[in-house]
Amino acid sequence: MYNKKALMNTYMQLPNVFTHGEDIYLFDEEGNKYLDFVAGIAVNGLGYSSNVLKDALKEQVDKLLHISNLYYTDTMLKAANKITKVTKMDKVFFCNSGSESIEAALKLARKYAKYKGYENRYEFITMKNSFHGRTMGAISLTGQTRYQKGLAPLLPSVKYAEFNNFESVKNLVNSNTCAVVVEVIQGEGGIILADKIFLEQVRALCDDKDICLVFDEVQTGAGRLGYPCGHMYFDVKPDIMTMAKGLGAGVPVGACLATEKIAKGFNPGDHASTFGGNPLVMAAVNIVVDEMLNDSMMEHVRSVGEYLHKQLTLLKSEFKCIKEVKGIGLMQGISLTYPPKELTSKAYENGLLLVGAGTDVVRFVPPLVVENKHIDMMIDILRKVL
């Protein structure tokens, strides 16, 4: 038995203790088996049985775990070239989490402004109902006060616009604006898709004023929408993009990517991370790009995503408590007439792991290797529970 009180009181964990995973199932120490539609919250894209990933990590453990960013490593150079190619961005900075990738994006946007001689450009425009992480910069950017309680003063130079309302963004832009930050799908906010036209209008505005457009793709990136990055679905390109979650398939990693033009803002000494992009982590990223962000896997995600959408829509026609089916690819949700916790708790009691999003949404973010048969099993459990 473990003393669970040794952990700080920051999470509301389930009572059981998980020990291992297989395929897309998790097992606890009592041998209970759970169908996992959480995947470490949109992280474990390759599921729990990827021998390619495991072998690459084992091989790297024998070679080199960590050296400083004072030196190049073969694994990091490989990963940098692969990830910039597949995302069609020019440059990457590796860090360790989504929040850190946001911090890097904020710093790069300000540095780019200074580099261009815009001395007073320091303000960020972000969206209401957004989520960008838990560090002080990222939480300041997060447009939901419930995450900010007790933490004031936050970063003072953040303005909150209405998501999918171009006029609202435009009205906040002034000579101090340095970047506009958007999630192409608000994930933690409740699986809310950006309108393509909204993204296009913001893109045009940023181009017009030489303001950085930052897409936070921590959750939508790494193939979750059936494209290497989510903005490819909308066909609107950012200047800066953040990635994390699925990028390491379970190994902690974050990335801030940028175009050549914007990346000129950073010079040696401007930003750093001791562990960012270390050899072990980069070994995982190399596998993720090869095994996960390829055409056939992206086609698979789009296809199972459509199947999931169809099955959830069918369920909606059977149960009045489902208000809406939301999302695309393998980032979907159902909004409910009651708190999502009621459904996720019952699902858990029936061997299915699900997670909430926003105030009324239950989210489906399974491993990208999920198959229709797993979706059928998940729907059967949901039907019973509903």
Ligand X SMILES: Cc1ncc(COP(=O)(O)O)c(C=O)c1O
Would you tell me which residues interact with ligand X (CB under 6 A)?
97-99, 102, 131-133, 183, 187-188, 216, 218-219, 244
Shortest reach from residue 51's CB to ligand X, in Å: 26
Which residue, 147 or 348, has its beta carbon nearer to ligand X?
Answer: 147
Shortest reach from residue 134's CB to ligand X, in Å: 6
- Euclidean distance between CA atoms 207 and 201, whole angstroms: 10
- CB-nearest residue to ligand X: 98
Which residue, 218 or 288, has its beta carbon nearer to ligand X?
Answer: 218
Shortest reach from residue 123's CB to ligand X, in Å: 20
Which residue, 98 or 190, has its beta carbon nearer to ligand X?
Answer: 98
Which residue, 218 or 229, has its beta carbon nearer to ligand X?
Answer: 218
Which residue, 36 or 216, has its beta carbon nearer to ligand X?
Answer: 216
Which residue, 143 or 226, has its beta carbon nearer to ligand X?
Answer: 143
Shortest reach from residue 244's CB to ligand X, in Å: 5
Shortest reach from residue 142's CB to ligand X, in Å: 8
Shortest reach from residue 249's CB to ligand X, in Å: 14
